[in-house]
Amino acid sequence: MFFALALLAYILDKVFGELPGKHPVMWMGDFIQAFERRFYRNSILSGGLLVLALVGLSLSLSLLAVYVCGLLPAWLALPVLALMASTGLAMNMLHASVAAILTADHPRQAIRLLVSRDTDSMDETAVYKAALETWAENLSDGVIAPLLYLLLFGLPGLAVYKAINTLDSMVAYKTERYLYFGRVAALADDAANYLPARLTALGLVLASAQRRRAWQCALRDGNKLDSPNAGWPIAALAGALGVGLAGEAFYHGQLKPKPILGDALGPVTEATLRQGLQLRATIDGWLIALLVLGVLFS
């Protein structure tokens, strides 16, 4: 396992956040758009070829990067690899993006950058709920999952995961255009996030002052959403805060019913969002402590 690499990459993201220049995920997005323009067919075969192409390219380039770093002096190879790996971790960016809702002059416009649902008719409560759901779900997709695959498989594992997750965010929609084209990407993302989503829920439970309630809500409500994974961290956070999250929302002009996750013991307010974001410090502490222990005893 790559404890030292994962620890250094996490610390680099914590200290510096996003590096200047074009992010690797943006290059992946460019590849997806180019493939779609040239080879799009609303078929499982066409979508599957896209997944194979991007995953194969990401794996190949990451293996090349590992090989090149292997030619460097030992004292330099690990920091260079960790710097590259830190671009796949998004704790700093995620936390800052969600926290920006608290200071935005127009919160509905700010939340529009973070969610795919329609925001025009949102009231203040809906904005704060959406922000909390984004924080919980992307804590899994943007932090725990990439860190897990980096820890298990090194830079290639992280690169493959980011490719799958980027594909899911761009083509795995249940719309007429992507119903079949995005099917393989959606299934791959469901499989890749199965364990991380549940580990994220566990992390939120451990970070909470209301661990019993958070755990009960995660177990009771984690499987209630259409996604096999998204509900777990959202339900755990809802339980931790004593609020109800999810529920019906508008997507592409249509009202989509969703069950409420958690126990609505109080309203979702600005203070609730602040409380949810404050869990970051405890989560950081747990993750760094576990990685340090791994370095010491591996």
Which tens digit of pLDDT belongs to each residue from 207-231?
999 999 999 999 999 999 989 999 9
Residue 121's pLDDT band (boundaries 50, 70, 90)?
confident
238-256 mean pLDDT: 83
111-135 mean pLDDT: 85
**Contact assessment for residue 105 and residue 165, using Cβ atoms and an 8 Å cutoff:** no
**Arithmetic mean of pLDDT over the chain:** 93
Q: What is the pLDDT of residue 116?
A: 74
Between 56-65, 72-81, 240-249, 286-295, the lowest mean confidence (pLDDT) is in: 240-249
Q: What is the pLDDT of residue 21?
A: 78
22-39 mean pLDDT: 94
SS3 assignment, position 284: helix
CA 108, CA 122: separation in Å to the nearest integer?
A: 7
CA 290, CA 285: separation in Å to the nearest integer?
A: 9
Residue 279, pLDDT > 70, answer yes
Q: Output 246 or 57, whichever has higher pLDDT.
A: 57
Between 116-125, 190-199, 266-275, the lowest mean confidence (pLDDT) is in: 116-125
Token pair for residue 52? 């194979």
Percentage above 90 pLDDT, the chain? 81
Residue 96, pLDDT > 70, answer yes
Going 23 to 24 to 25 to 27, the CA torsion angle's sign is positive
pTM of whole model > 0.85? yes
Helix (H) or strand (E) holding 261: strand 260-261
236-256 mean pLDDT: 84
Q: What is the pLDDT of residue 252?
A: 65
Residue 120, pLDDT > 80, answer no
**Contact assessment for residue 188 and residue 172, using Cβ atoms and an 8 Å cutoff:** no
Residue 60, pLDDT > 80, answer yes
Token pair for residue 175? 């719309």
Residue 122's pLDDT band (boundaries 50, 70, 90)?
confident
